[in-house]
Amino acid sequence: METTFVMIKPDGVQRNLIAPILDRFLAKGFTLRGLKFMNVSKQLAETHYADLSSKPFFGGLVEYICSGPVVAIALEGKDVVAQARKIIGATNPLASDPGTIRGAYAIDIGRNVIHGSDSVENGQKELALWFSEGLVDNTPVLRGQIYE
């Protein structure tokens, strides 16, 4: 089974969107393997977004991610990396389908309420970074109702 890292960003937390956002993934059928309400250090934000360090928006992005608590989430399921990205929607909310999280809840690209890993490999890397203590074992009892 595949795993991915999702993070509700500080704007999503401040706007009381934790429950509706989490519900999209759990109602879909994905399994929760980690859940943390936490502050983000500058070092963690910079490591997480290291690939974007040369971008002009990098400083503002790190400041945004450190501006208040976030919810770090580990999810497991079939094709969960690509599925979560679909549920999240395009980076720029103007391009996100209105049925997606960003399409429903965000307007500006720099306040797009949520992060999701963009590949299986990056999902593994990000989970190791954010959940270095490891994930929680959580076997879905209704597995046969979700997967054929």
Is 15 annotated in some ligand binding site? no
Could you say whether residue 115 binds ligand UDP (CB under 6 A)?
yes
The token duo for 19 is 């429950």
Tell me the residue ranges of DSSP E strands in the chain. 2-8, 31-38, 70-77, 114-116
Report the C-alpha gap between 89 and 21 in whole angstroms. 12
Helix axes 18-28, 80-88, angle to 10 degrees: 140
Report the C-alpha gap between 61 and 93 in whole angstroms. 16
Of positions 110, 119, 136, 143, contacts ligand UDP by CB under 6 A: 110
Residue nearest to ligand UDP (CB): 91
Active-site residue among 115, 116, 117, 126?
Answer: 115
Question: By CB under 6 A, what part of segment 60-79 binds ligand UDP?
Answer: 61
Question: By CB under 5 A, what part of segment 111-140 binds Mg ion?
Answer: 118
Report the C-alpha gap between 65 and 57 in whole angstroms. 12
Catalytic residue list: 115
| Binding-site ranges for ligand UDP (CB under 6 A) | 52, 57, 61, 91, 109-110, 112, 115, 118
Q: What residues are designated binding site for ATP?
A: 9, 57, 85, 91, 102, 112
